[in-house]
């Protein structure tokens, strides 16, 4: 059970309910991290705006965006984020073998060259707090300047979500979903 109550529209001050409405309208519901972020409504609105770009408008191809998100979720061992994004990754064309390799912590083994590059860039950044020159140059050569920044921002954004979900102990079961991430 989450450590903070899920914010409802009715529990919010009237002058902040538009933030709830905006988030619910763009995402279909207020769930997971946004149910926590709404404890700080202005922050929630700003995060939602950034998230809309990262999730729906980024230059990253959907399969690589989702591979990034799954790498972040596994790095942070974030059940909620993994469970929310594994089906999205499958629908976006992320190879099942790549999903399993990240889930089972065998990656980069079993990944294609580009999948391994995304995985290595993101996992190295999150675990060592740096990206080696050769990895950065390879991503830059492939994705260009905007792409390397979008990849980095995607890793950072979903890390922020994972931190919030983990700190507040939000689990997939809170939304009635079984966890897809093994212990």
Q: What's the whole-number mean pLDDT along residues 71-98? A: 97
Kindly indicate the confidence band of residue 43, based on its pLDDT and cuts at 50, 70 and 90.
very high
Asked if 20 and 106 sit in the same domain, the reply is no
Prior bond to 67 cis, omega within 30?
no
Residue 183 has pLDDT above 80, yes or no: no
Q: What is the pLDDT of residue 1?
A: 84
125-163 tens-digit pLDDT: 999 999 999 999 999 999 999 999 999 999 999 999 999
Angle at 69 between CA 64 and CA 152, to 5 degrees: 75
Q: What is the pLDDT of residue 86?
A: 97
Asked if 53 and 67 sit in the same domain, the reply is no
Asked if 36 and 79 sit in the same domain, the reply is no
Q: What's the whole-number mean pLDDT along residues 74-99? A: 97
Angle at 171 between CA 4 and CA 11, to 5 degrees: 30
DSSP track, 128-143: HSS--HHHHHHHHHHH
Kindly indicate the confidence band of residue 58, based on its pLDDT and cuts at 50, 70 and 90.
very high
Picking from 16-25, 40-49, 84-93, 169-178, which range would have the lowest pLDDT averaged per residue?
169-178
Residue 68 has pLDDT above 90, yes or no: yes
**Average pLDDT along the chain:** 96
Prior bond to 22 cis, omega within 30?
no
Kindly indicate the confidence band of residue 82, based on its pLDDT and cuts at 50, 70 and 90.
very high
Asked if 72 and 146 sit in the same domain, the reply is yes
Is 109 among the domain residues?
A: yes
In percent, how much of the chain has pLDDT > 70? 100
Q: Within the chain, how many helices (H) and strands (E) appear? A: 8, 0
Asked if 52 and 69 sit in the same domain, the reply is no
Contact 156, 71 (CB under 8 A): no
Contact 18, 30 (CB under 8 A): no
Asked if 43 and 91 sit in the same domain, the reply is no
Kindly indicate the confidence band of residue 182, based on its pLDDT and cuts at 50, 70 and 90.
confident
Under DSSP, is residue 116 helix (H, G, I), strand (E, B) or coil?
helix
13-29 tens-digit pLDDT: 999 999 999 999 998 99
Asked if 84 and 167 sit in the same domain, the reply is yes
Task: Return the closest-CA partner of residue 158 out of 69, 63, 61.
Answer: 69
**Domain extent at residue 94:** 62-175
Residues 89 and 22: their CA atoms lie apart, in Å, by: 25
pTM: 0.95
């Amino acid at each position: 059970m989450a450590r903070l109550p899920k914010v409802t529209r009715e529990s919010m001050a009237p002058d902040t309910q538009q933030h709830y409405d905006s988030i619910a309208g763009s995402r279909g519901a207020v769930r997971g991290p946004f149910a926590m972020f709404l404890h700080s409504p202005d922050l929630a609105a700003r995060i939602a705006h950034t998230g809309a770009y990262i999730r729906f408008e980024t230059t990253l191809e959907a399969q690589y965006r989702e591979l990034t998100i799954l790498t972040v979720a596994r790095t942070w061992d974030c059940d909620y984020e993994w469970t929310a994004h594994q089906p999205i990754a499958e629908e976006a064309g992320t190879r099942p073998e790549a999903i399993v390799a990240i889930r089972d912590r065998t990656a980069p083994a079993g990944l294609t060259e580009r999948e391994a590059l995304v995985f290595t860039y993101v996992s190295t950044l999150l675990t060592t707090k740096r990206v080696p020159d050769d990895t950065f140059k390879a991503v830059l050569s492939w994705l260009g300047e905007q792409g390397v920044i979008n990849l980095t921002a995607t890793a950072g954004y979903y890390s922020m979500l994972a931190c919030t979900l983990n700190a507040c102990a939000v689990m997939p079961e809170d939304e009635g979903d079984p966890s897809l991430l093994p212990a």
